[in-house]
A and B are shown apart, each in its own frame.
Chain A
Amino acid sequence: EAGVAQSPRYKIIEKRQSVAFWCNPISGHATLYWYQQILGQGPKLLIQFQNNGVVDDSQLPKDRFSAERLKGVDSTLKIQPAKLEDSAVYLCASGGPGGRPYNEQFFGPGTRLTVL
């Protein structure tokens, strides 16, 4: 079974530039999560989708971050404009079939973003 795919794996941008990350979840998984993991910290949930709909985005900085999940499959996370403090690894995860909210999550390898 293929895992969660993310791209790009690494990205370096200047502050105030824009950047987008892409995630393809495990086939059939209804729930998709985006996390931000700053070095030395645990992942912080940014947004959670159930199929096409947003379940939780309470920690998403909506003035600069946006996310969408097209047709309940792939998802993109965008930052516009980026700040220095956005330097982190952005992890995508997907949850099992049936949409049970407390399923275990399967993570992709992450995108390491450096903002200069």
Chain B
Amino acid sequence: EDQVTQSPEALRLQEGESSSLNCSYTVSGLRGLFWYRQDPGKGPEFLFTLYSAGEEKEKERLKATLTKKESFLHITAPKPEDSATYLCAVQARSRLGGFKTIFGAGTRLFVKA
């Protein structure tokens, strides 16, 4: 069964304390892996797309990496405004012949000043 698992469920950091969020996946026919940020009461906001193992993307304090079984979102020197839920999603081939999107449950990040 296709599955996306994110860990930890919640992460509390002090401002400036770097860390990583994990997204492990079990899917057949991976087409792409996505990272989104979601603030309370809002829809997810796109951050990165990764297509193949070894690929890396960076944006400000965030860096996403991809292996054959998992992806990491590294946060360097976080600030309180980085506090949000970070969602990982994969797009894979569906049994119907098209493509389906599967989201993980997310990691809630809290950064304290």
Contacts and interface: CB of A to CB of B under 8 A. Distances in A.
Interface residues of A, number: 25
Contact of A102 (B32, B43, B106): B32
Contacts of B104: 42
B43 A4 contact: yes
Nearest to B49: A104
B104 to A, nearest CB: 5
Chain B interface residue count: which class? 20 to 34
Interface in B2-56: 4, 6, 31-32, 34, 36, 41-46, 49, 51
Interface in B50-88: 51, 87
Contact of B100 (A56, A91, A110): A56
Contacts of A93: 43-44
A93 to B, nearest CB: 7
B102 A45 contact: yes
A102 B103 contact: no
Interface in A5-37: 33, 35
Per CB-CB distance, the 3 closest pairs between chain A and chain B, nearest first, are: A107-B43, A42-B103, A102-B32
Interface of A: 4, 33, 35, 40-45, 48, 50, 55-56, 58, 91, 93, 101-102, 104-110
Given A48-B98, A50-B98, A55-B96, 4 more contacts: A41-B105, A41-B106, A102-B91, A106-B46
